[in-house]
Amino acid sequence: MIRKMKLTKLFALIAFALSLMFITGCDDNCTDYEDDYAPSIPAGVYSVTGDEQISLYWAPVVENDIDYYVVYRSDTPPGPYEEIATTEEATYVDTGLSNGVTYFYAITSVDIYGNESELSIELVYDTPRPEGSATLTNYHEDASSAGFSFANEQVVDYNESSCDIYLEYDNDLDTYFVHCGRSLTDLQDFGYTDDIHDVNYAPEEGWSELCYVEVISGHSYIVWTAENHYAVFRVTSIYEGTSSPKYIRIDWAYQTDLGNRELRVYPENKIKSGNSE
């Protein structure tokens, strides 16, 4: 009797196993599982201004089946956006752009099944601007190369009408100063930065009441020009020798878009009426 019961249970287990094979079995006509759900939307999208280029960054989508991201660009908000690139990294550098032109961006994510997310929700826009390096001399010793014109992107005589800033070395104080080159030009010391790209906007306040600033190596300075443009320069080195003329070296960037503080358009109802001299 006991043996018969054991055989019955054995046959039952075999039958159950065979039923599972029948239910879960697959022939050549079976298809693999396909996910038709869109992945998460990329978040935290932001941009960094460059010279004829804009760098884009966003937070990686934390999902196992993410394949790549799609970068979209538009000339106007809210689009239409045009696909310009795909990337597997959570960053992209858009090159070959026109300085002074504003570009708008959105990012999507695509999974391994080809599902694409909606466009990122952040309104991301930026305006590339020219940048470079220059050497300014002490105007008491060499006035012809003491000034800088951001609009002309070149070193000029400190008396030149286009001069925005110029350099002075004060022998009594043993200190360098940068002065406003014209009335209606403003200056402010932004403080220590690693490079000029650390300054991504021009503050609305903090302009020098004297219209000059002390030169400190490693400091970045913001300029509000007489024509309502914004610029930044960073002092990369200061000459400490005794030969003439004394000089400093700077990196600079200039926003050619009128009234644009790099990432934000300057309010139209705020009119530049002069500096605080």
* 148-201 pLDDT tens trace: 999 999 999 999 999 999 999 999 999 999 999 998 999 999 999 998 888 888
Mean pLDDT of the region 101-116: 96
At residue 19 the predicted structure's pLDDT band, cuts being 50, 70 and 90, is low
Q: Band the pLDDT of 14: cuts 50, 70, 90.
A: low
Mean pLDDT comparison of 34-38, 75-79, 156-160, highest-scoring range? 156-160
Q: Of 105, 102, 93, 99, which is closest to residue 51 (Cα–Cα)?
A: 99
Does the domain made of 43-126 have the CATH classification 2.60.40.10? Answer: yes
- Prediction pTM value: 0.72
- Residue-level pLDDT at 201: 85
Q: When comparing pLDDT for 260 and 90, which is higher?
A: 90
Per-residue pLDDT tens digits for 39-66: 999 999 999 888 999 999 999 999 999 9
Structure confidence at residue 264 as a pLDDT band (50, 70, 90): very low
Residue-averaged pLDDT of the chain: 86
CB 232 within 8 A of CB 251: no
Ranges of each domain in the chain:
43-126, 131-255
In this model, does residue 269 exceed pLDDT 50?
no
